[in-house]
């Protein structure tokens, strides 16, 4: 790891505000694989696991269904689906081979290798035909794409008409006491500690920056409708710091 990654003065607010625009996303995720899962679970107090289980329940996949999980990272969502729904298969896609390699280890350890396939792919240009899957999900990955509406359209494209598109994502903190405490926690606990543990200073500064600049829940729902997704439902999670958006692709 380059020495400057450890020494960057992440406490300077002006260095953080637009970090989501200045970060090489591929480099960041590929460089933090060894500590990625541990820090995610620790910093979220394992609440992220509960959110993923809620995502599985909302998917309502048919028996023998085939799910595609975009920005699958180290395959957390793919594994949860495969464990909770032994009657389905999952294809997880990500642009980082390093993340996928770690995901493959986790898939093997979980005993679901026969039902989870991981592939390198660009979430904005998926290598699949139209109407291929019975559902599409993305968890904490949409805001990392350079084209948020394009990512939603691509999810809708590869899902069969009448089937679900689901997005689990952080939202800008609500203007409440809890929201202010959450921002303080990200800014003063997660950023410096995450930087020191991961050895890559941008990771948790980027997290703060990308969340504060992301779409509000109503804006994300509007983009889903614009992409041809109907019956959009929004589930508020943990006082509004995250949401699950789900909807059904228009029948053609």
pLDDT in tens, 108-156: 999 999 999 999 999 999 999 999 999 999 999 999 999 999 999 999 9
The answer to whether position 188 is within a domain reads: yes
Looking at the structure, tell me whether residues 191 and 238 fall in a common domain: no
Looking at the structure, tell me whether residues 219 and 163 fall in a common domain: yes
Determine what percent of the chain is predicted with pLDDT higher than 70.
89
Domain count, the chain: 2
- Long-range contacts of 144-147, Cβ-Cβ distance < 8 Å, separation of 24 or more: 144/25, 144/71, 144/210, 145/71
Task: Decide: 156 and 126 in contact? Cβ < 8 Å.
Answer: no
Looking at the structure, tell me whether residues 115 and 8 fall in a common domain: no
Report the distance separating Cα 222 and Cα 249, nearest Å: 14
Looking at the structure, tell me whether residues 180 and 164 fall in a common domain: no
> Residue 10 — pLDDT band, cuts 50, 70, 90?
very low
The domain spanning residue 161 has which CATH number?
Answer: 3.40.50.150
- For 188-236, the pLDDT digits (tens) are 888 788 777 777 666 767 788 888 999 999 999 999 999 999 999 999 9
Looking at the structure, tell me whether residues 119 and 238 fall in a common domain: yes
Q: Would the CA dihedral through 144, 146, 150, 155 be positive or negative?
A: negative
The answer to whether position 179 is within a domain reads: yes
Q: Would the CA dihedral through 54, 81, 129, 97 be positive or negative?
A: positive
* C-alpha atoms less than 13 angstroms from C-alpha of 121 in its C-beta half-sphere: 19
């Amino acid at each position: 790891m380059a020495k400057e990654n450890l020494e960057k003065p992440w406490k300077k607010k002006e260095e953080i505000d637009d970090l989501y625009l200045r970060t090489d996303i591929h480099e960041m995720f590929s460089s933090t694989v060894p500590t990625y899962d541990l820090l995610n679970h620790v910093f979220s107090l394992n609440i992220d696991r509960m959110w993923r289980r809620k995502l599985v329940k909302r998917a309502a996949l048919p028996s023998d269904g085939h799910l595609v999980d975009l920005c699958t990272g180290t395959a957390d969502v793919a594994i949860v689906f495969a464990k909770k729904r032994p009657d389905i298969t999952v294809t997880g896609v990500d642009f980082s081979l390093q993340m996928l390699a770690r995901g493959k280890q986790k898939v093997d350890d979980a005993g679901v290798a026969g039902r989870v396939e991981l592939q390198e792919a660009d979430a904005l240009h998926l290598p699949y035909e139209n109407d291929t899957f019975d559902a599409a999900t993305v968890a904490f990955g949409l805001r990392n794409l350079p084209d948020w509406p394009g990512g939603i359209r691509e999810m809708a494209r590869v899902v069969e008409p009448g089937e679900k598109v689901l997005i689990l994502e952080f939202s800008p903190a609500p203007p409440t006491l809890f929201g202010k405490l959450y921002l303080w926690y990200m800014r003063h606990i997660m950023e410096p500690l995450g930087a020191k543990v991961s050895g890559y200073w941008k990771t948790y500064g980027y997290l703060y920056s990308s969340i504060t600049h992301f779409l509000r829940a109503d804006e994300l729902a509007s983009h889903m409708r614009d992409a041809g997704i109907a019956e959009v439902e929004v589930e508020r999670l943990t006082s509004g710091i995250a949401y699950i958006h789900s909807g059904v692709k228009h029948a053609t």
